[in-house]
């Protein structure tokens, strides 16, 4: 018994260390951004002036850029990711499943910096061509205004989309696996087409699917290198897909080692703090949704009953 207690204490200490690490990240970020938090308060997040030379620090352009690029990536990636997940888990012949899974995993394994390199030298010139050939009446819209630079929001959204597809599709595949076969068989027995049966399975798995999409969103929010290399790094709030903009992660990566003065550094770390909190919330929410799918079906049915009765 004695030995068992020491064993538990020993490996328990390692566990505590892991929990303490997460807490320490939060504490350290607050401590290292204190000057900025005190100096600017909430105004930090509503001001759009970022001028380190004159000591003005407003983070709105970075929040805007991060949200814009991530939502754009989400819109582009979600249909493709779900299509892949459905194809692999529901439609593909058995022998093709393994290779396809491997290929999507490979897409997830390619380092961010390689995506960035490809972005700079291959994707950005292609985007520039697209922008140059955009007809004038379209260019008049705020969504496509500005000179055709290549670098900018569109390039960032495209790179991010490619990067989050494998994450979303992997989780969506896992979620689809938890749908009982009876669900699909029931649909087929009622004369459903393939699409209708899969739609029924998707509906059954909806919470988990939303969780998978949110997990991809969380990835996009924190992605740094590839975005830094293609977004143009210009702190402005613009609706235009063609405009060079900036994200929270990118400004930290670019300006951290050049930050002169404590206030500048603290302002950058405050941006990191908010990035930390936002990704924490998004990941937490997505995990709760995915976990709720993995609960035993019997219990789920009981919990779902009142809602059905109400409906």
Partner 1 sequence: MRLDGRQLLSNLFVLACGLSILVALVPLVMILFFVIREGAQALNLAFFTQMPKPVGEAGGGMLNAFVGTLMLTGLAALMAVPIGILAGIYVSEYKGTTLATAVRFAADTLNGVPSIVIGIFVYGIAVLPFRQFSALAGGIALGIMMIPIIARTTEELLLLVPSAMREGALALGATRARAVFSVIVPSVLPGIMTAVLLALARVAGETAPLLFTAFNNRFFSTDPGQPIASVTVQVFTYAISPYADWHRQAWAGALVLVAFVFVCSLAARVVTARVQRRRGGVA
Which residues in the 251-290 window bind partner 1 by CB under 8 A? 252-253, 256-257, 269, 272, 275-276, 279-280, 282-284, 287
- Binders of partner 1 among residues 291 to 310 (CB under 8 A) are none
Of 67, 120, 59, the C-alpha closest to 239 is 67
Per the DSSP assignment, residues forming a β-bridge with 204 are none
Q: Tell which residue, 279, 230, 227, has the closest CA to residue 252.
A: 227
Nearest approach in angstroms of CB 129 to partner 1 is 15
The residue count of the chain comes to 311
Report the distance separating Cα 227 and Cα 230, nearest Å.
5
The residue within the footprint of partner 1, chosen from 103, 140, 304, 305 (CB under 8 A), is 103
Q: Would you give the DSSP letter of residue 191?
A: T
Please work out the total of residues on this chain that contact partner 1, with binding judged by CB under 8 A: 82
Residues 18-37 that bind partner 1 (CB under 8 A): 18-19, 21-22, 24-25, 28-29, 31-32
57: which strand partners?
50
Q: What are phi and psi of 177, to 5 degrees?
A: -65, -30
Residue 67 CB, nearest approach to partner 1 (Å): 14
Cβ proximity to partner 1: between 8 and 206 the closer is 8
Query: Of 39, 71, 112, 297, which one interacts with partner 1 (CB under 8 A)?
Result: 112
From 144, 164, 137, select the one nearest 71 (Cα to Cα). 164
Secondary-structure percent of the chain, ordered helix, strand, coil, rounded to 5: 80, 0, 20
d(CA 271, CA 307): 41
Q: Pick out residues in 197-256 that bind partner 1 (CB under 8 A).
A: 198, 218, 221-225, 229, 249, 252-253, 256
* Binder among 35, 117, 130, 210 for partner 1 (CB under 8 A): 117
Choose the binding region for partner 1 from 37-45, 49-57, 106-114, 302-310 (rule: CB under 8 A).
106-114
Residue 159 contacts residue 123 (beta carbons within 8 Å): yes
Query: Applying CB under 8 A, which of residues 43, 79, 142, 147 lies at the interface with partner 1?
Result: 79
Site string for partner 1, 134-173 (x = CB under 8 A): ----------------------------x--xx--x----
Closest approach of partner 1 to the CB of residue 13, in Å: 9
Distance CA 147, CA 145 (A): 7
């Amino acid at each position: 018994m004695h030995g068992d207690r020491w064993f538990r204490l020993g490996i328990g200490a390692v566990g505590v260390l892991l929990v303490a690490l997460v807490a320490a990240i939060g504490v350290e970020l607050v401590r290292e951004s204190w000057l900025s938090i005190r100096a600017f308060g909430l105004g930090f997040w509503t001001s759009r002036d970022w001028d380190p030379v004159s000591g003005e620090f407003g983070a709105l352009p970075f929040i805007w850029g991060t949200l814009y690029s991530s939502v754009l990536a989400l819109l582009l990636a979600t249909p493709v990711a779900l299509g892949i997940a459905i194809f692999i888990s529901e439609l593909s012949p058995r022998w093709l499943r393994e290779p396809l899974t491997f290929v999507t995993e490979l897409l997830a394994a390619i380092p961010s910096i390689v995506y960035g390199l490809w972005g700079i030298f291959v994707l950005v010139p292609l985007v520039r061509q697209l922008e140059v050939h955009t007809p004038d009446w379209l260019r008049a819209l705020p969504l496509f205004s500005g000179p055709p630079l290549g670098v900018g929001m569109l390039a960032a959204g495209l790179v991010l989309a490619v990067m989050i597809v494998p994450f979303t599709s992997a989780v969506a595949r896992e979620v689809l696996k938890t749908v009982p076969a009876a669900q699909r068989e029931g649909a087929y027995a009622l004369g459903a087409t393939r699409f209708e049966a899969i739609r029924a399975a998707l509906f059954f798995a909806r919470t988990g699917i939303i969780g998978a999409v949110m997990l991809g969103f969380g990835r996009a929010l924190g992605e740094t290198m590839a975005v830094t290399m293609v977004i143009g790094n210009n702190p402005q709030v613009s609706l235009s897909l063609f405009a060079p903009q900036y994200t929270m992660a990118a400004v930290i990566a670019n300006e951290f080692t050049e930050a002169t003065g404590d206030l500048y550094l603290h302002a950058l770390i405050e941006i990191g703090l908010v990035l930390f909190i936002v990704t924490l919330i998004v990941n937490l929410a997505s995990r709760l949704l995915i976990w709720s799918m993995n609960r035993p079906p019997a219990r789920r049915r009981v919990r779902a009953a009142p809602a059905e009765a109400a409906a």
